[in-house]
Amino acid sequence: MPPLSVLDLAPVAEGRRPGDALRNAVDLARQAEALGYRRYWMAEHHNMPGIASAATAVALAHVGAGTERIRIGAGGVMLPNHAPLVIAEQFGTLAALHPGRVDLGVGRAPGTDPRTAWALRRTLASDEDAFPQDVVELMDWFREPVPGQAVVATPGAGEAVEVWILGSSTFGAQLAAALGLPYAFASHFAPAQMMQALALYREQFRPSERLAKPHAMLGVHVVAAETDAEARFLFTSHQQALLNRRTGRPGTLPPPVEGFVERLDPHARAVIEASLGIVAVGGPATVRAELAAFVERTGADELIVTAQIFDHAARKRSYALLAEAAAEAMAA
């Protein structure tokens, strides 16, 4: 089993507030650190009532202050929403506060709807095709300044921030390969082009000063519990949230419902199935077997795991069971 990391969308459970979600994030990060997870990432999403990590750098500062060793990072920042200098300063500040621990995953999607994108940028004129140039500019802000440089990212310049390319298509894979950067694929919600993207990334990878050989991390939605039946029950929160979002009714994360999928009509079931990415749901043995098969198929260098579970204690238990299952797999 490859190293495990956490992707926390800071879920806002029904009846709770974003502050509750962010306090839970620190609690989960501390547990992940104690269990040996490698990274703890949060993601930029806007205008989504069930996700509290819109101000990603601020949320990560909160998590970083509550942990000591685990790497913290963005999975990711949607670069078209920001000037590269702003992101360099934000993550340079994180690196100054938490040296040697900061990752910055960047993507080219807006992370929201067009109306919210306009509210963020005051324009929709930003060009996704300029994403490669923006990434190069962003990395340049992290370099040591040269004599006579008129603008310097402070903090940012000279900070050791590990830059990743995120993607759900072959575009990001080719860019990560060309720049010699680690690559994270969003297989937890968009796996269609996963194998093609991985092949392109590995075939076209050019070693760089940042990375000597390709390193691919894949997203998986994991819900682990004591039994398969309990895990499937907990998973219904995510299934409900998917259906609500896809049918224009986004909201907070609902509590699980017994027999939820079985009561749906075929169309609603199809909507959920079309929205699901790579998932592993079940007791420890089931999850271990499914993840082992996934790693065997993909050759993933690392897995980043997300879990949209209504009850915070159950979510923590899921990550604990997964860590135990991974340790057993490595010892076998």
Complete domains list, the chain, with CATH: 4-221+299-317 (3.20.20.30), 222-298+318-332 (no CATH)
Q: Write down the pLDDT at residue 121.
A: 63
For residue 68, the tally of other CB atoms under 10 A from its CB is: 10
- Closest-CA residue to 280 (of 261, 300, 307, 241): 307
Asked whether the beta carbons of 72 and 29 are under 8 A apart, the reply is yes
The Cα 202–Cα 163 span in angstroms is 18
Asked if 79 and 108 count as a contact pair (C-beta separation under 8 A), the reply is yes
Taking the C-alpha atoms of residue 30 and residue 120, their distance in angstroms, rounded to an integer, is: 32
What's the confidence (pLDDT) of residue 126? 57
Burial 220-244 (b: 16+ CB within 10 A, else e): bbbbbbeebebbbbbbbbbbbbbbb
Identity at 119, one-letter amino acid code: A
Strands 39-42 and 279-282: unpaired
Q: For the chain, 332 residues long, give each residue's pLDDT as a single digit of tens.
A: 899 999 999 999 999 999 999 999 999 999 999 999 999 999 999 889 999 999 999 999 999 999 999 999 999 899 988 999 999 999 999 999 999 999 999 998 765 677 776 676 655 555 667 899 999 999 999 999 999 999 999 999 999 999 999 999 999 999 999 999 999 999 999 999 999 999 999 999 999 999 999 999 999 999 999 999 999 999 999 999 999 999 989 999 999 999 999 999 999 999 999 889 999 999 999 999 999 999 999 999 999 999 999 999 999 999 999 999 998 877 76
Please tell me the pTM assigned to this model: 0.94
Q: Report whether 59 contacts 75 (CB < 8 A).
A: no
CA distances from 268 to 169, 207, 280 (A): 26, 46, 21
d(CA 190, CA 56): 22
**SS3 category, 3:** coil
8 forms bridges with which residues in the sheet?
A: 42
Task: Report strand pairing: 4-8 vs 39-42.
Answer: parallel
Nearest to 300 by CA among 326, 325, 274: 326
* pLDDT score recorded for residue 118: 67
Q: Which of 144, 169, 172 is nearest to 158 (CA)?
A: 144
Displacement of CA 2 from its chain's centroid (Å):
17
Other Cβ atoms less than 10 A from the Cβ of 248: the count is: 6
Amino acid at 33: E
